[in-house]
Structure 1
Amino acid sequence: MRQIIGLDTPDGDHFGRVHGTQYAMVRKRAGTRVILNLFAAAVVYWLCKDTVAWEILAAFGGALLCALGLAFTLDFRLRDADQRFFSPEDMKRHALGSVFKGLVWATGFCVLTFTGAAEQVAAIWAVIAFLVMASSVSRYSAPLSAISYALMVCAGGLVASLATFNYGLAVVVVGTAFFGCFGVVETARMAVGVRIAELEMQEKSETVSMLLREFEDGQADWLWQIDTKRKLRSVSPRLTFALGREVAEVEGQSLLQLISGDGWKSGQFPASLHDLADRLKGKESFSNLVVKALVNGEIRWWEMSGTPMFDEDGKWLGFRGVGSDVTAQRESSEKIEFLARYDTLTQLPNRLQVNESLSDALAYAQEWRTRCALLMIDLDRFKAINDSLGHLVGDRMLAQVAARLKPLMDEGELCGRLGGDEFAVIIRDAKDRRRVDTIAKAIISALSAPYYIDNHVLYVGASVGSAIGPRDGSKVEELLRNADLALYRAKDEGGGEHCEYEPSLHVNAEERRLLEVSLRHALERNEFVLHYQPVVDANTEEVVSFEALARWNSEEHGFVSPGKFIPIAEDTRLIVPIGTWVMQEACREAAANWPEHVKVNINVSPEQLVEPDFAGTVVRALSHSGLDPKRLEIEVTESIFMRDADVARKALEQCMALGCSVALDDFGTGYSSLGYLRKLKFTTIKVDRSFVQGAGQNSPESLAIIRAVVAMADSLGMTTTAEGVENEDEADLIRRLGCNKIQGYHFGRPMPADDAVKIFSRKDAGGRKRA
């Protein structure tokens, strides 16, 4: 109902267009309404001229002329309503004119009744009721305006009839208002429904017409017909357009001759034309036969279908069919095929073509009893450049890498991009083993030279791993895997190296696999335990917190270093359940056995932060343990911002809202630390141990960095913790540099929970709690 009246509009533009068409009809009857109002005013004047002062009648007439002028102006502005979207605001603005006109009649009716025309109130109402009915009939297409006018006028009639104690007339007035508004709404409902149906039919008609026009104007399909001598008959205009000739030139000519070009004289036809000729000769039906045609010296590709024609006696009359030019589709298909085999960024063969070429090289090596080689190349430090300067700079660097690799290739060697910053080189004949090492060193040297991109001088290195086929693998997958293992070893040795595959690499890979299997059951077997390393106040040396560190004592492998199992846990996302256990166990231990002023620091992996319910995990750990949120400090590294910075920031902000504090660990070892400090309000900055050790050796750079970090943290309202303090001299130096807290072997190594509790029962000679 509100949509029909015009008080709101549903989604889409149907109602806006419908109301625009409806309101455009209002303008056509604007003059008629003015005349009817003037006629009604004249009748009222005649009825009241003997009983009401002329000044009042004149004032009423003047006000009515103003109202009529305003309403006529608003109606005239609707001349383009059917050409635009007509909103509820437009309808409300138009209704204001009707409200003003109705107010003039209502006020005039009341004033005339109270100033001498009380006896003529019924007659005057009859005139006004006539206007209400006329408005309802003439302005049903503008229901909001018609209803506003009717209600305003009837309100005046109701006041006048009640004031003169004419209750019968009051009932008539109310009935007039009801039936007038009801008639407007019902008529508007029908009109709107009809108009919506018309618009839908119009849209369907326009869509069909557009499709027909596209088919007629596209000239992409044509009919063709040949007789028993393969000569064209009843040539269609579209076929002549496709041949680039006139109808007279084509009628009666051989179809094969017209599309074979110079090949007609020499007899050298494309295979597709031979196929077409055989189908025609054999009187066979064919469908979607792609033919290579030469039209006016230009190669075109036609897709043709044909059916033999026979008369009632079974006599063959020729062929009839349909054809279309599919040159654009053919070229597009060839382009797609090219893109499927080549990398668009570097223009090098992609992984698909590399695998195919490697398969061919292995087959060649096995057939001729020789060797082939696969070199896997990975850029060192590329991710840091990509993350700090953006993917556009990274893409331009990859393009330059490809340009440097191409000149290094000799005959029988192929270089391709596997994806990301990984490339591969295939040597088809690698009987000279020295060639593998030579090209690997040449690749490392070429890719390690500086890159100049957007006023930046950038440096990346390259690591290379190689495998020889079929010695190191007789299948593509085996050779790729073994070359990849050699590449991992090269990167583990610091990068910038070439490593050949050795069987021992499989041992390391198998060890990693077995560790992963055991790690998946470690929580079920209660093989994890937490150790705690104290963090002390730099001035008082009192323990202010413990950092919780996970330790794994496996049934199959014994004690496993965190440096081994933590990367595996992160790669397999087992770090999520492990991290949840660490959170629950550390909070329980701190709440149950530590003084209330001692915090617990828990390291959180980026994999945990991107979990949708990380904040819920923290809440459950706090509620189950009863630990005050202020005693929990979450430690993260800059790597959390490398994967999904927005999700990580939101999760940490939710934890801070609970009252927990957040520390940025290993500060200064990344590439955008200052940017992270701007994105998130950290509580603590932990200075990496490398700077602490450098400062202990009087390194000017390390000293300057620590001073800058401390000054920046103080200005931002953050505390600083120095990691890796191993002796008293380093502790004194860190204290002088202004760090608030210290962590390191000098104050305590990671220890079991029972030993951590004992610290609080010991005091040094000065009465201070020491680790």
Structure 2
Amino acid sequence: MSAVTSGPVGAVSTLIAVVAIVALIAVLVLLGTQRAQVRRASEALALSRELRNRYDALQAVTTEGVLVQSLSGRVLDISDRAAQILGIDGPASVGRAVGDLPVSVVNEMGLAMNPAAVLGRRSGIAPAGRAIDSELVGVVLPGMDAAHARMVQVSSQLVPAGDGDADAVLTTLVDVTGRRETEAALTRSEMQFRVAMENAPIGMALVDLEWRIVEANAAFAELLGTSVGALRGYRMEDLSTPEGRPAERLEVDRLLGGGQHRFSMEKRYQRADGHEVWVALDAALVRTPTGAPDHFVVQVRDSTESRLQAEMLTHRAMHDPLTGLANRTLLQEVLQSALEQPGAEARVAVLACDLDGFKEINDRYGHAAGDEVLVHVAGVLRAATARRGTVARLGGDEFVVVVQDVDGPRAVFEVAAAIHAGLHEPVRVARRRLVVAASVGIAVADPDSIDGGAPGLLAAADAALYRAKSAGRGRTEVYDGSMAMGSASDLHRELAAALATDQLVVHYQPIVDLSDARVVGYEALVRWEHPRRGLLLPGAFLSLVQEAGLSVALGQLVARRVVEFVATMPDRTRWVSVNVSADQLGDGEFATTLLAEISRHRLSAGRIVVELTESSLVASGTRIRHELTQLSAAGVPILLDDFGTGVSPLSYLRDLPVAGVKLDMSFTSGIPEDPTAGKVARALGALARELAMVTIAEGIEQEEQAEFLQRNGWRYGQGWLYGSAQPGGITR
């Protein structure tokens, strides 16, 4: 009985144990599975947190704002940048409908728009992952008007499973206000530059690195007589005349090579009609931010008129205003240059010509008739020279011809013969037939005269001229060694003797008030009463005075004579001006003599006026300036002679104690025919009046000239219209 009982009970126990073990194993398996699921859930949560952190970090640094919303239009998420762009509170916006957000949106025309239609789901949005729908709108922040709306680029697209299992709408917002402002500023700047370029009064062009015109304005095209379209693609250097191209190319290469940033040059351009114009060309190289050459900006200004005016002024400074012949300065330059050329001995000769009896013509028929004779003689000399040299007038009736020919000695005799033949025919002057003859002196270049330079050869021709006049006039003499004592050294001795024997005299030319032609003063002019040649004007001997070192002595002589003359004048209001050159100043002797004579004769210092000539030499010494200051301080007025000519006379109005100016006769002679002379006279007069200076115009020969100068502010005048220079004692 017990055995049977133990058998079934044991089997049940065993089964229970097996079941328990299986259950335990199942529990253990289940626990393991749960632990794995928990671990995976923890890892997923950690990954989600990491991704969120990365998302937040990305949104913190990106310039784009992100708005996530459900298909029903409720905000699921919004980045800080998106909230900032829209001007709303980000956390408070989550869960709200997009249409309920406090956002004001306008289109590009400034008209209000529905925020839900802009930021929410819109018809036409492509399926997930496809094309993005983009729109530019304006976001009006609180307190701001629509004109200053923030410009925002809005883009939307579907995102699969963006809201758990459902799709969502991802909207990105980019603030493009700054970029739009930059683009607008750039567009405005470009427009302003184009308007300025198109309306500029001077030529302008944009030129590429190949020196080809990319764009040009109307002024540039008009200057060249063509159209803007025709200029595009044209090479700049092809606009100029051939001789100007190499220098231009060199300047362009220097710009490209970094040797300079800009260049300026004056050159000639060929117009479309074949005419040439002078232009001032200015070019600057524009570089990229990296420093690489990009293009050129070019300005072209028409300088034809100013160039012609400069050439006219230069011509006047180097030519005789009456005859148009070269003056002494140009003559000496031409002769010196000719003597410095190889073979000068065989090719160069000088002819000095002096009219016989010219003083009698002036005295009998007047200076106007004398001028006509001088102009006629100038034409005879030009024709006789026949382009084989340079004809000059030195002053008065003295002429010089520098002959340059393959056979100089033969040519100079041919010229002399042609002069005598040309003067054989009487000159017609105001229904009169006046007979004019000339004495001629010739000097041919040789080693001695070449060593002496231009002054030596001119002195030799002058010595031969003396011989011709003393031998009966109306003839030609050639310089030889026997005349040596009659050339430079002898002339210097003659001048010294002339000073000692009162051969140098002073004549006085009246100066009048242009308003009523009343005589107010005189200019003292020195003359040489030569025992053989008669009365010589300053142009015939002043240069020799300087060479002989007698300038100071001559200045002292003139100062004494002038003061004596003024002391005898019955009209105590009139004054006399004295010409003083730079080489007569500096050692104090002239100032000492003049002031001593004024004191001795008890004159008012203001009745003696010093006219400063050769003003371009004053800057060389402060002692000269000191002596002028001494005279001015004593009450002697200082005038600047030859005003408007010279190297830089305007600077002396500031640097020297100048009380007045004297207009050079080269400008007066051009009135009224030469409009440029009139403009210069008007401008210089205005300048002098602005500086409160006395104004005197010399060389007046016609009433029309006097009226013009008086209208344009010149107070005093002198010239043959009011009388020539006369000996002392004639006070008119």
What's the TM-score once normalised by structure 1's chain length? 0.37
What's the TM-score once normalised by structure 2's chain length? 0.39
